[in-house]
C-alpha cells in the first residue's frame, strides 16, 4: 500500500530563517511520482513540484529546494530565507504510473513569524 508520512504537524520559524519540511513515503512500485502542494487559508492546493522516481537530482526554484533520496524514501522540502507569505499548510503526495490518484500526507502547518 502507498503511504506518505509528514511527521511535523506544525512548525514555527522567524522570518528569514531556513526551514525544512520532512516527507517519507512508502510504495512497492518502482515507477512513481512525488509532489509538493501548498495550501493557503483560501483552500486551493497550489502545485509546487512534481518529481518522478527515476530522477533523484535535487531541484532548486528560487528560495525553494527539494531533496529526493530513494535510499531513505524521503522527499524533503526546504525554504531558504523564509517570508511571511510562505505561511501555509504544505502537503507531500505520491501517485503511481497507472493513474492520477494522489495519496497525500497529513500536511505540515508552517508559521513564519515576522
Partner 1 sequence: DAGVTQSPTHLIKTRGQQVTLRCSPKSGHDTVSWYQQALGQGPQFIFQYYEEEERQRGNFPDRFSGHQFPNYSSELNVNALWLGDSALYLCASSHGTGNGNTIYFGEGSWLTVV
Residues that bind partner 1 (CB under 8 A): 4, 32-33, 35, 37, 42-47, 50, 52, 91, 93, 95, 97-107
CB of 83 to partner 1, least distance (A): 22
CB of 58 to partner 1, least distance (A): 18
Q: Which lies closer to partner 1 via its Cβ, residue 52 or residue 83?
A: 52
Q: Which lies closer to partner 1 via its Cβ, residue 43 or residue 114?
A: 43
Q: What angle do CA 108, 50, 70 make, to 5 degrees?
A: 80
Q: Which lies closer to partner 1 via its Cβ, residue 99 or residue 114?
A: 99
- d(C-alpha 101, C-alpha 47), whole Å: 15
CB of 16 to partner 1, least distance (A): 28
- d(C-alpha 83, C-alpha 69), whole Å: 27
Q: What are phi and psi of 84, to 5 degrees?
A: -55, -35
CB of 76 to partner 1, least distance (A): 17
Amino acid at each position: 500500500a502507498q503511504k506518505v508520512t509528514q511527521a511535523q504537524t506544525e512548525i514555527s520559524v522567524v522570518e528569514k530563517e531556513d526551514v525544512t519540511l520532512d516527507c517519507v513515503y512508502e510504495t512497492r512500485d518502482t515507477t512513481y511520482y512525488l509532489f509538493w502542494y501548498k495550501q493557503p487559508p483560501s483552500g486551493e492546493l497550489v502545485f509546487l513540484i512534481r518529481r518522478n522516481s527515476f530522477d533523484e537530482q535535487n531541484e532548486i526554484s528560487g528560495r525553494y529546494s527539494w531533496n529526493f533520496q530513494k535510499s531513505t524514501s524521503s522527499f524533503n522540502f526546504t525554504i531558504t530565507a523564509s517570508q511571511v507569505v510562505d505561511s501555509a499548510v504544505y502537503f507531500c503526495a505520491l501517485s503511481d504510473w497507472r493513474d492520477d490518484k494522489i495519496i497525500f500526507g497529513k500536511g505540515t502547518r508552517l508559521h513564519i513569524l515576522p
